[in-house]
Amino acid sequence: MGHTRRQTETQGVEIHLGRLVKEIDPRQRRVMCDKGDIFTHEKLLLATGGRPQRLPFDDDQIIYFRTLADYRRLRARTETGRRFAVIGGGFIGSEIAAALAMNGKEVVMIFPEAGIGDRVFPRELSQFLSSFYRQKGVEVLAGEKVTGLKARGSQRALQMGNSREIVVDGVVAGIGIQPNVELAQSARLKVEDGIVVDEFLRTDHPDIYAAGDVAAFYNPSLGKRIRVEHEDNANTMGQAAGLNMAGRSEPYHHLPFFYSDLFELGYEAVGETDSRLETFADWKRPNEEGVIYYLQKERVRGVLLWNVWKQVDAARRLIADPGPFQPGDLKERLPA
Ligand SMILES: Cc1cc2nc3c(=O)[nH]c(=O)nc-3n(C[C@H](O)[C@H](O)[C@H](O)COP(=O)(O)OP(=O)(O)OC[C@H]3O[C@@H](n4cnc5c(N)ncnc54)[C@H](O)[C@@H]3O)c2cc1C
């Protein structure tokens, strides 16, 4: 790396690239890096995100899709490769499979759940999505597991539970992330599923903050602590943490949304969109355009806006509304 230190004159931010923080010392307010640099601070933000979970049969040819470098590696492999396996049927798996198919590649998707996005979408929608992918030419192996991987020259043979083998030119895995909490743990900050922060995004040390994928925060609309692995949360929470570190005292009560695009389908979702909750689907056109409400104890916990746009704030208001709501009350409630 040519330059490891850069100063942006206008913003007053000093950037040190190619450094890994190995330890933080809250008492001395110091940050120790792998190359021996030590930085001192008044306030400190931990925004270390997460790292991909790895498969038990790890192999350096598996691309765990997370970084720009991963994208470049996959892109390079598509120059010569024809057939690709995508392990995982969640956000990353469904987006990568669609992107590869749209680029003319043969794709086989493998995951243990019953359908694509099964943890978020109600069963019928997840089944529809699996059929939709099949119509687009993707081989969807739902309810199946890869148990091992063998090299076949530059190709890889996936070993399936049913002793079948699938030979491909590239393997991408998106099976979830685990938050990078180790710095916080070794500094004895409170960590549960992520670094625990208060409503001002402070950890249990008053000068150390956390934000983004790594932070577990309390959301008043949902009445519970959550950790969110999505862009809107990372952007909004990062900004809120920065403001509070600079002296403001503004609580972070934002209920983040997330979005995804799958071929020509697209959605935005807010709150707790967990397919295990009671759901009510209000379709304008079945599986093409409509709103799905997730309910628990007569309250709306989450809203999925399926090809329905500019309704995120209205969905947030509905989730904050104490109700009570019966599924029938929600018919044609959105778009507002
Ligand atoms: C392929 C992909 C597609 C996505 N698509 C969507 C989408 O469609 N919609 C959506 O809402 N969200 C999406 N996301 C999620 C979104 O990108 C993340 O929620 C967001 O990037 C989290 O930001 P963050 O800053 O908390 O963490 P990250 O972006 O993970 O950044 C963490 C940073 O901390 C650094 N770091 C970690 N440990 C250390 C250390 N010890 N020392 C120094 N640096 C360290 C890392 O190297 C990294 O630079 C996607 C993510 C991926 C990977």
Angle between helices 123-135 and 91-102 (to 10 degrees): 20
Cβ–Cβ under 8 Å, residues 332 and 307: no
User: Does the CB atom of residue 108 touch ligand 1 within 6 A?
Assistant: no
Q: Could you write out the three-class secondary structure of the chain?
A: CCCCEEEECCCCEEEECCCCEEEEECCCCEEEECCCCEEECCCEEECCCEEECCCCCCCCCEEECCCHHHHHHHHHHHHHCCEEEEECCCHHHHHHHHHHHHCCCEEEEEECCCCCCCCCCCHHHHHHHHHHHHHCCCEEEECCCEEEEEEECCEEEEEECCCCEEEECEEEECCCEEECCHHHHHCCCCEECEEECCCCCECCCCCEEECHHHEEEEECCCCEEECCCCHHHHHHHHHHHHHHHCCCCCCCCCCCEEEEEECCEEEEEEECCCCCCEEEEEEEECCCEEEEEEEECCEEEEEEEECCCCCHHHHHHHHHCCCCCCHHHHCCCCCC
Q: Which atom of ligand 1 is nearest to the CA of 230?
A: 19
Instruction: Specify whether 25 is located in the same domain as 66.
Output: no
Name the residue type at position 1: M
User: Does the CB atom of residue 133 touch ligand 1 within 6 A?
Assistant: no
> Structure tokens of 180?
């990078």
Q: What gap in Å lies between CA 87 and CA 169, rounded to an integer?
A: 14
Domain assignment present for 7: yes
Q: What is the pLDDT of residues 60-108, one digit of tens each?
A: 999 999 999 999 999 999 999 999 999 999 999 999 999 999 999 999 9
Q: Of the residues 158, 177, 196, which one is the last residue of a structural domain?
A: 177
User: Does the CB atom of residue 180 touch ligand 1 within 6 A?
Assistant: yes
Distances from the Cα of 54 to the Cα of 88, 114, 121, 176, angstroms: 12, 21, 24, 9
User: Does the CB atom of residue 66 touch ligand 1 within 6 A?
Assistant: yes
User: What are the φ and ψ backbone dihedral angles of 128, each rounded to 5 degrees?
Assistant: -60, -45
User: Does the CB atom of residue 121 touch ligand 1 within 6 A?
Assistant: no
Ligand 1 centroid to Cα of residue 62, in Å, is 19
Q: What is the pLDDT of residues 258-274, one digit of tens each?
A: 999 999 999 999 999 99
Q: For position 152, what pLDDT does the model report?
A: 92
Task: Point out the residues of the chain with pLDDT beneath 70.
Answer: 1-10
User: Does the CB atom of residue 266 touch ligand 1 within 6 A?
Assistant: no
Ligand 1 centroid to Cα of residue 15, in Å, is 18
The residue range of the domain holding 301 is: 264-325
Instruction: Specify whether 118 is located in the same domain as 67.
Output: yes
User: Does the CB atom of residue 225 touch ligand 1 within 6 A?
Assistant: no
Ligand 1 centroid to Cα of residue 47, in Å, is 9
Q: For position 163, what pLDDT does the model report?
A: 82
Share of the chain above pLDDT 70, in %: 97
Q: Residue 263: name the closest of 72, 144, 131, 76 by CA.
A: 131
User: Does the CB atom of residue 213 touch ligand 1 within 6 A?
Assistant: yes
- Virtual CA dihedral for 179, 185, 190, 192, nearest 10 degrees? 40
User: Using CA positions, which residue lies closest to atom 29 of ligand 1?
Assistant: 49
Q: Structural domain tally of the chain?
A: 3
Q: Which atom of ligand 1 is nearest to the CA of 228?
A: 19
Ligand 1 centroid to Cα of residue 335, in Å, is 31
- Domain at 77, CATH number: 3.50.50.60
User: Using CA positions, which residue lies closest to atom 46 of ligand 1?
Assistant: 48
User: What are the φ and ψ backbone dihedral angles of 250, each rounded to 5 degrees?
Assistant: -110, 125
Q: For position 1, what pLDDT does the model report?
A: 35
Q: For position 84, what pLDDT does the model report?
A: 98
Cβ–Cβ under 8 Å, residues 236 and 72: no
Instruction: Specify whether 80 is located in the same domain as 173.
Output: yes
Domain assignment present for 211: no
Q: Which atom of ligand 1 is nearest to the CA of 215?
A: 26
State yes or no: cis peptide before 324, omega within 30 of 0: yes
Q: Which atom of ligand 1 is nearest to the CA of 214?
A: 26
Cβ–Cβ under 8 Å, residues 153 and 16: no
- Domain at 314, CATH number: 3.30.390.30
> Structure tokens of 89?
């049927």
Q: For position 75, what pLDDT does the model report?
A: 97
Cβ–Cβ under 8 Å, residues 319 and 330: no
Four-residue CA torsion sign, 187, 192, 193, 195: negative
Instruction: Specify whether 128 is located in the same domain as 23.
Output: no
User: Does the CB atom of residue 21 touch ligand 1 within 6 A?
Assistant: yes
Instruction: Specify whether 34 is located in the same domain as 81.
Output: no
Residue 7 forms beta bridges with which residues? 14
Ligand 1 centroid to Cα of residue 213, in Å, is 7
Q: What is the pTM of this model?
A: 0.93
Cβ–Cβ under 8 Å, residues 115 and 188: no
Instruction: Specify whether 67 is located in the same domain as 16.
Output: no
Q: What gap in Å lies between CA 76 and CA 334, rounded to an integer?
A: 43
Instruction: Specify whether 85 is located in the same domain as 141.
Output: yes
Q: Provide the pairing of β-strand 13-16 with 5-8.
A: antiparallel
Domain assignment present for 236: no
User: Does the CB atom of residue 236 touch ligand 1 within 6 A?
Assistant: no
